[in-house]
Structure 1
Amino acid sequence: MFDPTVARLTYRALLGKRRALILCALPLLLLVVAVAVRGLVGADDAVTTELLGGFALATMVPLIGVIAGTGAIGPEIDDGSVVYLLAKPLKRPTIIVTKLIVAIGITVAFSAVPTLIAGFVLNGNSQQIAVAYAVAAAVASIAYSALFLLLGTVSRHAVVLGLVYALIWEALFGSLVPGARTLSVQQWALSLAEKTAGSGAQITSEVGLPTGLVLLAVVTLGGTWLAAQKLRSLTLAGEE
């Protein structure tokens, strides 16, 4: 279920100069802000939780997921070059799973790792806050990658739709509107952060850990399966 050639081509496409600059921008901003905040207010658990939760997990992770998830296959479908990939003797689920693994790796590298570093800069991992948010970012990266990879297979406007979802639903409604929080990848991942952090970290999620993990698994597996089905339908359409 993994093809090295597809993985290499996907990495090359995602880490081109333009996308690499975009992928680096948000993590760099997070680290700059973390250094500035630490210099201004010192080590503060509440400030660390607010920054890692409000910016890193709620905004940075889904945005990087949009770039990596949609970019893993969307451009190939848009410009028609996907037909060359589909002409190879590869099973369609293998193509999707390979691209998903690449998207997850890039999203984790550009979101979970900077979140961990920023947490250590902010408060030295007091109350395990840095580790908790890094774990949440890594888990959320998996779900976001699957969700946005699916979006890249079903719409030519995947990036725009992904940005709307990331900025409006996750960053705004997922953080502020009580009813919407239970349907947010951010909140599902926070359930794991809440469990990982110390009792004094004041990290709370709108869903319990079992529910959060189940929903993350459903989105990841469901998105992957649907993306594979869509890719299979593209092959059939091309043959007809």
Structure 2
Amino acid sequence: MNATIAYITFRGMLGRRRALLLFMLPAVLLLLAVALRITGNNDLNISTIVLQRFALTTLLPLLALIAGTGVIAPEIDDGQIMYILTKPIPRPVILLTKLAVAIALVVAFAVVPTLVAGLILTGGTAGLAAGFTVGTLVGGVAYCAVFVVLAVASRNAVTIGLLYALVWETLIGNFAPGARSLSIQQWSLSVTDAVSSASTVTSEVAFGLAAVLLVVVSVLGATLAAVRLRTLSVASAE
């Protein structure tokens, strides 16, 4: 970790227009949770649907995409990354710092709002809030690792990330059972199912397999991103 790079990255992320989405998306989740609680439409089934389809399936991948690509892709696109690459800082340290910032943003704007929304909806009933919080956390780490490596490897990282999250996980995953085994969303849901005792939470991927795949994807993504950044020349960054 490098404190200076982390500070600059945080300032850049929270100062851009895209930062509005970081605040708006969790605000919608919290307002929805409050509205359902006030109107009494917060039984376990409805709460599970909200936390799964909005928090885990929609909010998490979008925020992770914004954070994962935003911490480094703009610097590569406009050439500012050259100023960092010329400093006597190991490139793996630069990459891991960027990844840590992305994860921190996901925790602040996806994981914490999911916990708060879950508590508003169900309190501590069946461990539903805790389950989705843990599921969102581990899924967020994996998503960030994937989207950071995409940002380092391709200038079309946002497009590729959207295709994965929206087309593969949401569309194909709903109609092709085999695709669910290659879905961060389903792995996260499996962790949620393991933590929560709610019968309304189910996953088609076994917990052991999901846990292993989440770790593998997170570590592999960070490693590939660090390797790619190490081979990125200042000339190519310009």
Which of the five TM-score ranges fits, normalised by the shorter chain? over 0.9
Residue 208 of structure 2 corresponds to 210
Residue 167 of structure 2 corresponds to 168
Report the TM-score when normalising by structure 2: 0.94
> Which residue identity is paired with 1:224?
A
Are the counterparts in 1 of residues 82 and 234 from structure 2 also a CA contact under 8 Å? no
Are the counterparts in 2 of residues 59 and 170 from structure 1 also a CA contact under 8 Å? no
Residue 75 of structure 2 corresponds to 76
Q: Which runs of 5+ in 1 are unaligned?
A: none
Deviation at 1:175, TM superposition (A): 4.5
Are the counterparts in 2 of residues 146 and 223 from structure 1 also a CA contact under 8 Å? yes
Change (3 A) 1:36 1:116: same
> Which residue identity is paired with 2:62?
L
Residue 201 of structure 1 corresponds to 199
Change (3 A) 1:29 1:175: farther
Deviation at 1:177, TM superposition (A): 3.4
Superposed CA RMSD in Å reads: 1.7
Matches within 5 A, 1:52-201: 52-198=51-197, 200-201=198-199
Bigger Cα displacement from structure 2, 219-228 vs 162-171: 162-171
Matched, 1:222 2:220: yes
Structure 2 SS opposite 1:18:
coil
Are the counterparts in 2 of residues 70 and 158 from structure 1 also a CA contact under 8 Å? yes
Are the counterparts in 1 of residues 85 and 234 from structure 2 also a CA contact under 8 Å? no
Q: Measure the CA separation in 1 of the matches of 2:186 and 2:171.
A: 12
Q: Which runs of 5+ in 2 are unaligned?
A: none
Q: Deviations over 1:167-212 (max 9, x none)?
A: 22233333553221111001111111111101x4321112111111
Identity of aligned residues (%): 48
Q: Measure the CA separation in 1 of the matches of 2:20 and 2:175.
A: 30
> Which residue identity is paired with 2:87?
K
Paired residues, number: 237
Q: Deviations over 1:97-132 (max 9, x none)?
A: 111111001011110111111111112231110110
Deviation at 1:164, TM superposition (A): 2.2
> Which residue identity is paired with 2:107?
V
Structure 1 SS opposite 2:233:
helix
Deviation at 1:35, TM superposition (A): 1.5
Report the TM-score when normalising by structure 1: 0.93
Q: Measure the CA separation in 2 of the matches of 1:205 and 1:30.
A: 22
